[in-house]
Amino acid sequence: MNAYHQHTETVTIAAAAAISGSFLLYGYRIAAVVDPATWTAADISFEIDASGSGTFVKVVDNAGALVKITGVSTTVSEYHFPPDIGSVLVGERAQIVSTNTASEADINQDAARTIIVVLAPLTAGD
């Protein structure tokens, strides 16, 4: 029997907004993100609330660079793997952020966008 139990969370970035609603992680990590075919041109980055305090911070790598998914299509839905940064995409809650490719500032989506987040347990036996 396979003990590996991934699941999905569906979040929405509202029209004229850049940040999705939050979703729980609780022992899971972000394994993939599925964007909608109608995505407004932008990268996808992440914010994490590590302690459950309600304070979200941008996720950066050890060099201080924003962790993001680049090359997101604006015409077809795609399944994206986040950069291979181990367990950095863990915490209590997370959000998906629409991010300007050049400036890395938040960039609003033109309409509401529904995103599927694939979550995998931190260990294969969970």
In a domain, 2, yes or no: no
Within 13 Å and on the Cβ side, how many CA atoms surround 121?
Answer: 9
Domain containing 41 equals 7-121
Give the model's pLDDT for residue 44.
96
- Bridge partners, residue 13, by sequence: 113
The tens digit of pLDDT for each residue in 18-47 reads: 999 999 988 888 889 999 999 999 999 999
In a domain, 44, yes or no: yes
Give the model's pLDDT for residue 4.
62
Tell me the one-letter amino acid at 24. Answer: L
Give the model's pLDDT for residue 81.
85
Say which CATH number the domain at 12 has: 2.60.120
If one counts every other C-beta atom within 10 angstroms of the C-beta of residue 61, the result is 12
Domain count, the chain: 1
In a domain, 1, yes or no: no
Calculate the CA 14 to chain-centre distance.
Answer: 15
Spans of the chain, pLDDT less than 50: 1-2, 126
